[in-house]
Every structure is written in structure tokens, then in C-alpha cells.
A and B are shown apart, each in its own frame.
Chain A
Amino acid sequence: MLKNDPVALIREKALWMRRTAFTMVHRARAGHPGGDFSATDIMATLYFGVMKYDAKRPDWADRDRFIMSKGHATGALYSALAAAGYFPEDWLPTYMQPRSLLNGHPNRNYLPGIETNTGPLGHGFPVAVGIAIAGQLTGASYRTYVLTGDGEQQEGSNWEAAMLSGHRKLVNLTLIIDRNRLQQGTGTEETSGLDPLDEKYRAFGWEVVEVDGHDPAALLAVLGAAPGDKPRCVIANTVKGKGVSFMENVASWHHGVPNDDQYAQAMKELV
């Protein structure tokens, strides 16, 4: 039933991911739930509506690649990978526990489905460019999707990657910017403003699309569209902490950890 309604499937998965991620953070007493929640709908759309992959064959050469450049959002990443079948759901409660494979930041040597290690911001995008160039050189059919934070865009390495991607016309590359307008301490525009982000990427040779990052139908249309003649930058307008009233747009939930009451309240709202 759900399978025939891609939007309903994405919504269902996204709801499960948010509940799961918040449970992991509550249990571990650590994590980055604000950025998990802004990215959840984007990731649910990629894993359950857009990307071509086989969780049983994580090394399949022709798989589409997803790179979580904002590596702190492991609540979103691990819940997506478990939902996609890369590893058993019962690994999730080990999040950040001694010797767990679910480290606070993703490690490709620990878990299947992780293309590269991230955590320091501004690393995933350059690696994604390399993956896209490799695909171009071999004539492979896979596509590469990389998700960065918006604060993360302040790292210069992104702009080096953007310049080369435009220059090489990496049409198999899609950059998604989680535009929640908050970074760790405060707003992006109060810190080192990014706007107009669309014009910047256009000037670097990219096709730029803006989308509501919490609307699965809109995300499906944009992320699932056939490649054009330039690399594609999707500016996903999102809300940090999306889905839980007291977390939305509150900077301190970047790495906030819920107490038991907050956890219970969030579980009531995430239905």
C-alpha cells in the first residue's frame, strides 16, 4: 500500500527516523539532534524514494553514493542506514557506547553504507567531487549526493570543490545544503553571512534549485530529476529541530540532550 504512495512511505520512514534518532541521543546523553531533524526528510527521501542501492551489497560499484558531509548528524544517518537495511536496528542503542560501531561521527571502517569518514566540516563535499570524477572517468551510471550544513559552507574547502565541479561539469553530482540558517552558536547570517547562496553557486557554474526541505513531494521531484548539463545544488530550506516544538529554531539544540520530560514530550509530538 505504502509502496504505491512514495510520499507516504517517506513520511513514515522520516517519522521513525526522528523518533529513533532522539531515542539514541537521549540514551547516549550526547549527539546533535537539531541537525538530525533538519536533515531527516531529505535523507528519508534519498533512501526511500531516490537512490539506487542494495543494502546487502554495500560495495556494489554502481550504487548511488550518499555522503553525509555534516557528519555530526549521525542520529539521522544511522537511523536511515538501519531503516534501509544496512545493519540491524538493534545496533542503534549502542550509539556512542564503548567500542560501538556507531561512533559519534561516521566511520566507513565500522559500518556498511558509509562512503567516507566525516566529522570535521568541509570534508565530505571534496570527497564527493572525487567520487563524481571517478564516475565520469569510468562512464559509470551512479549518481553522487552530498549533504552539507549551511554553517559548514563557511569552510573554504567547499568553495574549492564548487569551483572544480562547475569547471568539470559534474552533472552526476548533487549537492544538498541543509539551509536551516543556524550553526553551532547562532545564526549563519549573524556569523559570516551566506546569502545570496543561490547566486554564489550559479556564479560557480551550478544549476541551483530551492526547495522546502520538509516537503517529501517537492524533494522527490528535485532530487529525483534527471541530471542536467551542470552539477546541481539543491538549497533545502529547513528548520533546525524540525518536528519538536521546543527544539525548532533553537540554536542550543544543536548538541542539546533531552532530559526525561523533554524526551517524553518529544515522543508525544513525533506521531
Chain B
Amino acid sequence: MAHAAPVAAGMADCREAWVKTLIEVAEADPRVVCVVNDSVGSSKLNAFQKQFPDRLINVGIAEQLMVGVGAGLANGGKVPFVSAASCFLTSRSLEQVKADVAYANFNVKLVGQSSGIAYGELGATHHSIEDFAWLRPLTTITTIVPADPWETAEAVKWAAAHEGPVYLRLSRMPVPNLDVPDRKFQPGKAEVVRQGDDVTIIACGTTVHLAVQAADALKAEGIAARVLNFSTINPLDEAALHAAAATGAIVTVEEAGVRGGLGGAVSEFTAANTPVPVEKVGFPGFLPTGSTEWLFKEFGLSPEGIADAARRALARKKG
């Protein structure tokens, strides 16, 4: 696989927070186990495996089996964290995710690693940009996309304690910790990262810090952009969306396809309840060959691209 980009100062690979927290959770709760598909290294689980060799079940390269086994472990009283590259976890095993996890409503934690386009030049088969669209209709699954290491750790702790299916969509893309005072992790609640009433930028995961940079650039032009870290994709924070619509213009940003993802969810909700212009930043479909960094810039997942989308949304704003 392509190697993860070097981590710059002030930035972190959220997988460190993932495995550190998982080990803490597993120390406290003997029911916690891990299920993987030859993905110990790519899930950064070597330390977990060392400490709990019996509690790491490597099923081999067999994702349908992996998710089915996860459901069975939950039936047997375990709290399985099923961890694999999110492209294979959500596409290869989609029927298992639907029938064995979501519909059967088992206490399985699906952990999608290197989600979005972290595997850049490995191409569309290795991109996981359809997962929101596939999992959003599975309403029993709480879907969380942490934006930084702090939120990753909080989400892992919460998922372990929560009774019910969860999809944690993680990334190895280096991101900074968001600068928000007195943070409290609240699943299902969007987090206000920047205040503003001219336009609302709704972002998740690796794109939140880019949205913050966009908002800072817009501020210099006299535009006050609100930035929401919309880390829970399912269920939607409807109150936050009503408030966003009240600013009269919305931009959505996600490391995912624009059809059926966060932007799709926001558009669906606002179109039905409080119609407002929505500009979506994300990917149009299968992507050309290219590194993660190149693809982010090429498709406008950048401070400049997000600020441009905000200007377009403002131009469409009524009154």
C-alpha cells in the first residue's frame, strides 16, 4: 500500500489515539475484542495484539467472514471492534453490515481505517468515499467521523460503552487537534468550531481543520462563516441544521462522494424543511490516479476550495 504521508509538527495520525484508547478500554473491559482481516499493521493494532494476543482475531483476507464473526462474538457477549480498511469493511461486507449488524442490531463496532482517499494512488477500489451513502440508510448504526486525535479517543471510549452498532470512520491523514475551548464529546451533536452568521460550513473528519482555515480567510474579507464539526453523520443533528439554514447559505465538506454523503444528508434535510442554497465540496465519483494530497487540492478539499464554495453559496443567498 502507499505509505502514509509524513506527519508534520502539530499534526497527528489519529490511529495512534485509536489504538491507545482501545488498549485502555480493553484493560477496563474484558469483553472488548478486535477482529481484523490481515490488517493488524494497517490498523496499527500491533501493540494491542502484543498485550492481548487472544483477544485479536485475525480471520485472514475475508471481510464477509470478519463482519459475520463480529456479529457472532457480540451474540456471545463480547464487544467486538471490527477493524479494517474502510473500503473493504463497508463495500465487501456490505450485506453483512446490513443484515448481521444493522438489522440484527448486534453490539458491533465497525472501525473503518484509512477511510476516504487515504490510499490515494491505489485508486478507486481502495478509496472509501461511498461508505456514507451505503451506511446512512442503516439507521440503527451510529456513524461517527472524528476530526482529530482528541475526538478519536473520545469516540472509541463512547463506542465501547454504548450498547448498539457503531461505525467509526477513522483516517491516517495527519490532522491537528481542533482548538475549541471546554470540549465535550456529544455523539449526535455538531460542535461549533467557529462562530459566524453569514454562512455555515458543515464539515467532518479530515476536512474540519481545512474548513477552519477557510473561515479564517473569509473573515479577512468581512465574511463571518460558522464552522461545524459534524462528526455524527447518523443520526443527524437536526437542531444544528435548522440553525445553519438560518444563516441562509450552507457549504458541506467531506472526504467522500458528494452523492449520498454528508452533503446529501444536509441537502435532503434542508430541502424538506428549510430550503437554502447548499454548495457541496467532495468527490464527484471515481477519481483519477493521484496521491491523497494531490486529489484533495484537485477536487477543492482545501482552504481555497472551501472558501470558494462559501462565496458561491453566499452569491446564491436570498435577501
Chain B 89-142 interface residues, beta-carbon cutoff 8 Å to A: 91-92, 119, 121-126
Contacts of B61 in A (CB 8 A): 121-122, 151-152, 154-155, 183-184
Contacts of B30 in A (CB 8 A): none
A98-B289, A105-B126 known; A154-B41 Cβ under 8 A: no
Contacts of A117 in B (CB 8 A): 125
- Residue B160 lies at the interface, judged by CB distance under 8 Å to chain A: no
B291 and A255 form a contact (CB under 8 A): no
Contacts of B92 in A (CB 8 A): 120
B60 and A192 form a contact (CB under 8 A): yes
- Residue A28 lies at the interface, judged by CB distance under 8 Å to chain B: yes
A96 and B64 form a contact (CB under 8 A): no
A183 and B38 form a contact (CB under 8 A): yes
- Residue A100 lies at the interface, judged by CB distance under 8 Å to chain B: yes
A120-B88, A151-B38 known; A98-B60 Cβ under 8 A: no
A98 and B298 form a contact (CB under 8 A): yes
Q: Is the interface of A mostly helix, strand, loop or mixed?
A: loop
The contact of A71 among B60, B125, B289, by CB within 8 Å, is B125
- Residue A15 lies at the interface, judged by CB distance under 8 Å to chain B: no
Contacts of B40 in A (CB 8 A): 185
A26 to B283, CA, bound (A): 29
Question: B77-97 interface mask toward A, CB cutoff 8 Å, 1 = contact, 0 = none?
Answer: 000000000011001100000
Contacts of A122 in B (CB 8 A): 61
Q: Name the residue on B nearest A256 (C-beta).
A: B3
- Residue B62 lies at the interface, judged by CB distance under 8 Å to chain A: yes
The contact of A154 among B1, B62, B121, B289, by CB within 8 Å, is B62
The contact of B289 among A29, A102, A121, A156, by CB within 8 Å, is A102
Contacts of B87 in A (CB 8 A): 120
A191 and B60 form a contact (CB under 8 A): yes
Number of interface residues of A (CB under 8 A): 36
A191 to B294, CA, bound (A): 36
B290 and A185 form a contact (CB under 8 A): no
Chain A 81-118 interface residues, beta-carbon cutoff 8 Å to B: 96-105, 107, 117-118
- Residue B2 lies at the interface, judged by CB distance under 8 Å to chain A: yes
Contacts of A28 in B (CB 8 A): 121
Question: A175-201 interface mask toward B, CB cutoff 8 Å, 1 = contact, 0 = none?
Answer: 000000001110010011000000000
- Residue B12 lies at the interface, judged by CB distance under 8 Å to chain A: no
- Residue A146 lies at the interface, judged by CB distance under 8 Å to chain B: no
Q: Nearest Cβ distance between residue B19 and chain A, in whole angstroms?
A: 15
- Residue A9 lies at the interface, judged by CB distance under 8 Å to chain B: no
Most buried by B among A72, A96, A99, A102: A96
A104-B123, A156-B65 known; A99-B289 Cβ under 8 A: yes
Number of A-B contacts (CB under 8 A): 100
Contacts of A104 in B (CB 8 A): 2, 119, 121-123, 126, 289
Contacts of A218 in B (CB 8 A): none
A138 to B243, CA, bound (A): 63
The contact of B62 among A96, A103, A118, A155, by CB within 8 Å, is A155
- Residue B213 lies at the interface, judged by CB distance under 8 Å to chain A: no
A185 and B59 form a contact (CB under 8 A): no
A155 to B92, CA, bound (A): 10
The contact of A105 among B62, B122, B291, B294, by CB within 8 Å, is B122
A156 to B63, CA, bound (A): 9
Contacts of B58 in A (CB 8 A): 185, 191-192
- Residue B39 lies at the interface, judged by CB distance under 8 Å to chain A: yes
Contacts of B124 in A (CB 8 A): 107
Most buried by B among A29, A119, A151, A152: A119
- Residue B288 lies at the interface, judged by CB distance under 8 Å to chain A: yes
A192 to B93, CA, bound (A): 19
- Residue A30 lies at the interface, judged by CB distance under 8 Å to chain B: yes
A96 to B287, CA, bound (A): 12
- Residue A14 lies at the interface, judged by CB distance under 8 Å to chain B: no
- Residue A17 lies at the interface, judged by CB distance under 8 Å to chain B: no
A189 to B251, CA, bound (A): 50
Q: Nearest Cβ distance between residue A78 and chain B, in whole angstroms?
A: 12
- Residue A239 lies at the interface, judged by CB distance under 8 Å to chain B: no
B123 and A103 form a contact (CB under 8 A): yes
Q: Nearest Cβ distance between residue A53 and chain B, in whole angstroms?
A: 25
Q: Nearest Cβ distance between residue A29 and chain B, in whole angstroms?
A: 7
Contacts of A76 in B (CB 8 A): none
- Residue A257 lies at the interface, judged by CB distance under 8 Å to chain B: yes
A15 to B299, CA, bound (A): 40
Q: Name the residue on A nearest B1 (C-beta).
A: A255
Chain A 6-38 interface residues, beta-carbon cutoff 8 Å to B: 28-30, 32
Can you give 6 A-B contacts (C-beta < 8 A)?
Answer: A96-B291, A97-B290, A105-B122, A156-B65, A183-B38, A184-B39
Interface residues of A (CB under 8 A from B): 28-30, 32, 71-72, 96-105, 107, 117-122, 151-152, 154-156, 183-185, 188, 191-192, 255, 257
Inter-chain pairs besides A96-B2, A101-B289, A103-B121, 19 sampled, C-beta below 8 Å:
A29-B3, A32-B1, A96-B121, A97-B289, A99-B289, A102-B289, A103-B122, A107-B123, A118-B125, A119-B126, A120-B87, A120-B88, A156-B64, A183-B60, A184-B41, A185-B38, A185-B41, A188-B60, A255-B2
Those 6 A-B pairs whose CB atoms lie nearest each other, nearest first = A119-B125, A192-B60, A154-B60, A104-B122, A96-B121, A30-B2
